[in-house]
Amino acid sequence: MTDSELDLDLEDSDEEESDLGGFEMPTGFDPSAAMGRAGAARAEAPVQFEQAEDQVDLNLVMDVPVTMQVVLGSATMTVANILKLGRGAVVKLDTKVGDPVDVVVNGRIVARGEIVVIDKEEQRFGITLTDVAKPGSKLQARKSRAA
């Protein structure tokens, strides 16, 4: 509805006033002017944003440190059982030997792999990646096997 149509609607006969229960516009009130200001606000051009470049310079983030963790498994326990834990206690995890483990970077699973022994003398472990998330996608968390 245009402003001129609004003017016409408001200038119709006294029958409309009776339909409004005897309501009369206050003297000096111009509803078309009030509607025109609201209409003008709606007619403003939408906000334009600059388009992002297709190519991102990855060199900007190559030196940003991230935290990488390999999650061997998890366990569900009551607080009472946690408080009973002490030196030498063994906690049964939901992962079996040979099951894939999650590789987590800054809280997000980015890969899965298998634990390997790297150096027997120094007793160091490593991980062989078996599944790596594609850019823009993520791997689902393993279903808990603890029951």
Q: Tell me the average pLDDT of the chain.
A: 74
Asked if residue 90 lies in contact with residue 77, where contact means CB atoms within 8 angstroms, the answer is no
- Tell me the domains of the chain and their CATH numbers: 3-43 (no CATH), 58-132 (2.30.330.10)
pTM listed for this prediction: 0.49
Q: For position 103, what pLDDT does the model report?
A: 92
Q: How far is CA 128 from CA 4, 16, 65, 99, 113, in A?
A: 74, 81, 22, 12, 5
Taking residues 127-141, what's their average pLDDT?
82
Pairing state of beta strands 101-105 and 68-71? antiparallel
56 pLDDT higher than 90 = no
How far apart CA 37 and CA 42 sit, in angstroms, is 9
pLDDT tens digits, residue range 32-44?
A: 555 555 444 455 5
Q: Which is more confidently placed, 102 or 140?
A: 102
